[in-house]
Structure 1
Amino acid sequence: MDRSRGERDSTPGRVVPIIDADRVAALIEALALRESGGIPLLGDDRWDARLWAGLRRLADDAEPVPGMAWATFSSGSTGAPRVILRTESSWSASFPGVSGLFELTDADVVYLPAPLASSLSLFSVAHARSLGAGIILPQAHTISPADLECATVMHGTPNALAAAVEVIEGGASHRLRAALVGGAHLDSALRERAEAAGIRVVSYYGAAELSFVAVDADGLGYRPFPGVEVRVDEGDLWVRSPYFAAGYLGGASGSMTATTGALRRDGQGWATVGDVVDADSAGLLRLRGRRDGAILTAAATVIPEDVEAALRAIDAVEDAIVFGVPNAGTGSLVAALVETTAGNPIPSARELREQARTRLALSHLPRRWFWTENLPRTATGKPARAAARDAVLAGSVRRLD
């Protein structure tokens, strides 16, 4: 845990970082902070220490933000990551809708395999506590058969659900009756495997800034979550609901802003994070990804421009293009195509990874690395992300090992 803030930990409206090195201890500290009026900001213990130091500086430099209850991460992938602030009611207003999806009660035990740094886990902590339901936080970054013997409901990513199903198919006993799954596309085959194991699956689409937007309870398509209005404007999904976050920490005033980052608002209560959708005649939504090229991977939304800025700060990297490549377990893997400075030897993937991890959260660290002498660009000189991705998928650029 991080107790470097001392007496300032109890200042109302103050954002306080807490490292999730021991999940139970970190959660106890976070809830105590929340009771005193502070705003807990939980981070993954696998993050590099220098990245974590940047988070502490961000919180230290910000003024207290009265009225806020929770802080979570958006695309925090550079030395100054985005921190999302939200009120208590922005989550609690959706509790009845989520409870209704599973008939969740105080007799349930909710399993949260994703780190507490993930907004989906922190939301479910607040939700379960409001009902008096139990919570299981795994102490390792893997699915435990012992946890599955106790939990009745799970909230996690498709990758976590797949891991749980594999354990169950391997012969482990379990009590899971339902799973709420978000953060990436849920494959229909995985849904069928889970349901064959006796687990009812509800997938949902949302964003850390917007919270719940749409749910798919039967595998037929996404419908608006209770209390949410949606509209499609030239392919962009716009949302209006009582569940929005308030804004990002660290605006020009040093406290909070709602104008930077992925979130955009209009003057009539509508907001978008740039997701592109199709809507059929029945109102069902089909997600097509981010217009700005954001990568949906596991429980994170990765903004390519942020990762590219971090990679350009690495020795010998002249420029980089970041994009997603398909992956069945996580939706997409973050990949990077780099152009090195003339005269420098071509770095290995290990060398790039070691330098990148000091600047990027684990969820934003590229998993695939490629090299080219000249990055593809548009006629105006901008990185041609689609062309870079096509080159990688075609095998026409060098993969670094």
Structure 2
Amino acid sequence: MNLVTPILRHAAQKPDHIALSCSQESLTYSALVQRIKQIAQGLKENGLEHDKIGILSSNRIEFVEVFLGAVYAGCVPVPLDPKWSAAEVNAIVELCQPRMIFSETAFADNLIVQDGDIRILTFSDQERGTYDHWIESCIPKAENDDTNELLFIGFTSGTTGTPKGYMRTHLSWIQSFEATSEAFELNNMEHICAPGPFVHSLSLFALMQCLYSGATFHIVRQFEAGELLQLCSRIPDMILFVVPTMIESMMQQDFPGQTNIQALISSGGKWSEASKKRCHEVFGGAKLYEYYGSSEASYISYMDVYAENKPNSVGRPFSGVEISVRNEDFHELPAGSVGQLYVRSGMMFTGYYRLPDESAAVFRDGWLMLGDYVSVDAEGYLHMAGRAKNMIVSGGLNVYPEEVESVLQQLPAIQEVMVFGVRDDYWGEQVTAIVKWNGQERLTLEQIKDYCRQHVASYKAPKQLITVDQFIYTSSGKMARHAMKETMKRVMK
């Protein structure tokens, strides 16, 4: 089944129903389908069949049009993160070799295209770009029957911080949509908003879930707590897909009005028990759900915060999801034991793009290894014991210390550096750098941030800087990360 098929049906059954709303602009289902068909025909006229289509854009209507138009044409959209450095963007372009790239004008300068076969079309708010002229020249055909099994390629950081492409199929997401409806019991799915970037799977999934269901998706260009609450005060029964950091920011607002929020669905980081309690007080009429998942596994487990009294748990498995806790020898462990989490379901990804060895490494006998350590209690609830290795989750986004360290180590003033996460009520974890300086020169935190932003996404830059005279080492001469983290925690208390 093609993901676009239900959207075509909604356009036929309720053509004037609003599909997308963004500030003062909106698009009905019939208008959205018209644009989808125009883009699909334009791609085919350019000779594109099952080719990759790059999208370098913030949250806006054009992103949705291009994504769905590419899917309808049988092509494979590849969302590119505007927060990536130019080097990261071009590395992914080189890897995927898209035949066309649709970009906001503001980000197009980051593209260094060597291949003359790659065409770049631009759009912006200030003026008509080449995208606007191109799409007007595309005359849509009535139907398209070219469905590619591969839905899209998204990118998430690997264990070294290098972005890895995860491949998702139509069927895996459609089964995920069905799991959402069953688990969250949303009786009135009419208005949905996911204020995070579309390049991240949480918001992109919520967007597609909304259009698949025939509801209205409210596009937020970037998250701003006060503006989001104002939107929720105007729209009845809003369903929000958010990360815990966003919830914290919303609760800090001095907002006297009624929000009309039907449900808050949280993922992308552990939601603290204290935050859940405050959320209940601030948004008392809203349903609160927390779920655990990943770009590769999709949904794993969920919890109704009000109905289930299981502190510090990430809930029970979704329908159709099998879980297994195993030791390093792949032997299943009894309830209550901590081990590696393995998942099996029809919602899983098919592998990493052009990384056969890394794909093979995460699959074993049909099970997907998440790299997380968990335990399962007698009632079937999952409890997280620890994130994979050294990964930091800050504001719902993954940060791998080794990547940031490799950037900072290029600075002559730094002799040695270690990056780790410090628990933070707002960010979940705060990216922190421990530095041993080389000589007398000392850089400020702002200088460190500015340098990092030239090479990695801005959210990966340290928010805290600690100077040390000496690191702790293991007997083999390696940096003792755990010992350093524990020492720093004592120092920072």
Q: Tell me: CA distance 1:67–1:12, structure 2 relative to 1, closer, same or farther (3 Å).
A: farther
TM-score where L is the length of structure 1: 0.85
In structure 2, the residue matched to 1:136 is: 218
Indicate the structure whose relative CO is greater, using CA pairs within 8 Å and at least 6 residues apart: 1
- 2:266 aligned to 177, 181, 185, which one? 181
In structure 2, the residue matched to 1:3 is: none
How far apart in 2 are the matches of 1:178 and 1:96?
17
In structure 1, the residue matched to 2:35 is: none
Q: Tell me: CA distance 1:380–1:310, structure 2 relative to 1, closer, same or farther (3 Å).
A: same
- 1:193 aligned to 278, 291, 295, which one? 278
The answer (yes or no) to whether the contact 2:195–2:223 under 8 Å persists in 1 is: yes
The answer (yes or no) to whether the contact 1:68–1:88 under 8 Å persists in 2 is: yes
In structure 2, the residue matched to 1:254 is: none
- 1:355 aligned to 430, 439, 451, which one? 451
Aligned pairs for 1:135-174 within 5 A: 135-143=217-225, 144=227, 145-149=229-233, 150=235, 152-167=238-253, 170-174=255-259
How far apart in 2 are the matches of 1:74 and 1:113?
19
How far apart in 2 are the matches of 1:170 and 1:360?
35
- 1:87 aligned to 153, 165, 169, which one? 169
Shift of 1:330: 2.8
The answer (yes or no) to whether the contact 1:183–1:297 under 8 Å persists in 2 is: no
- 2:463 aligned to 358, 367, 375, which one? 367
Structure 1 residue matching 2:446: 3-state secondary structure: helix
Q: Identity, % of aligned pairs? A: 25
Shift of 1:258: 5.8
Structure 1 residue matching 2:88: 3-state secondary structure: helix
Alignment gaps of 5+ in structure 2: 1-41, 100-147, 328-338
The answer (yes or no) to whether the contact 1:194–1:200 under 8 Å persists in 2 is: no
Shift of 1:298: 2.5
Larger radius of gyration: 2
TM-score where L is the length of structure 2: 0.70
**Segment drifting more, 231-240 vs 28-37:** 28-37
The answer (yes or no) to whether the contact 1:111–1:147 under 8 Å persists in 2 is: no
Shift of 1:116: 0.9
Shift of 1:320: 2.5
Shift of 1:44: 4.0
Matched, 1:381 2:477: yes
Shift of 1:10: 7.4
The answer (yes or no) to whether the contact 1:84–1:208 under 8 Å persists in 2 is: yes
Matched, 1:224 2:317: yes
Shift of 1:80: 4.6
The answer (yes or no) to whether the contact 1:320–1:338 under 8 Å persists in 2 is: yes
Q: Tell me: CA distance 1:323–1:16, structure 2 relative to 1, closer, same or farther (3 Å).
A: farther
Alignment gaps of 5+ in structure 1: 1-5, 252-256
In structure 2, the residue matched to 1:45 is: 82
In structure 2, the residue matched to 1:243 is: 347
In structure 2, the residue matched to 1:214 is: 301
Shift of 1:260: 5.6
How far apart in 1 are the matches of 2:160 and 2:54?
17
- 1:272 aligned to 366, 369, 379, which one? 369
Shift of 1:259: 1.6
Q: Tell me: CA distance 1:127–1:91, structure 2 relative to 1, closer, same or farther (3 Å).
A: same
**Segment drifting more, 223-232 vs 137-146:** 137-146
Q: Describe the superposition over 1:108-152 as per-residue Cα deviations: whole angstroms up to 9, x where unpaired.
A: 211111111211001111211111111112123313133212261
Shift of 1:178: 0.7
The answer (yes or no) to whether the contact 1:159–1:329 under 8 Å persists in 2 is: yes
Structure 2 residue matching 1:90: 3-state secondary structure: helix
Structure 2 residue matching 1:273: 3-state secondary structure: strand
How far apart in 2 are the matches of 1:160 and 1:10?
43
How far apart in 2 are the matches of 1:281 and 1:135?
39
- 1:329 aligned to 417, 426, 432, which one? 426
CA-based RMSD: 2.9
The answer (yes or no) to whether the contact 1:248–1:260 under 8 Å persists in 2 is: yes
Q: Tell me: CA distance 1:104–1:283, structure 2 relative to 1, closer, same or farther (3 Å).
A: closer
Shift of 1:201: 0.7
Matched, 1:29 2:66: yes
How far apart in 1 are the matches of 2:47 and 2:280?
45
Q: Tell me: CA distance 1:249–1:208, structure 2 relative to 1, closer, same or farther (3 Å).
A: same
Aligned residues: 380
Structure 1 residue matching 2:157: 3-state secondary structure: coil
How far apart in 1 are the matches of 2:379 and 2:160?
41
In structure 2, the residue matched to 1:59 is: 96
The answer (yes or no) to whether the contact 1:118–1:299 under 8 Å persists in 2 is: no
In structure 2, the residue matched to 1:123 is: 205
The answer (yes or no) to whether the contact 2:53–2:98 under 8 Å persists in 1 is: no
Structure 2 residue matching 1:93: 3-state secondary structure: helix
How far apart in 1 are the matches of 2:87 and 2:264?
35
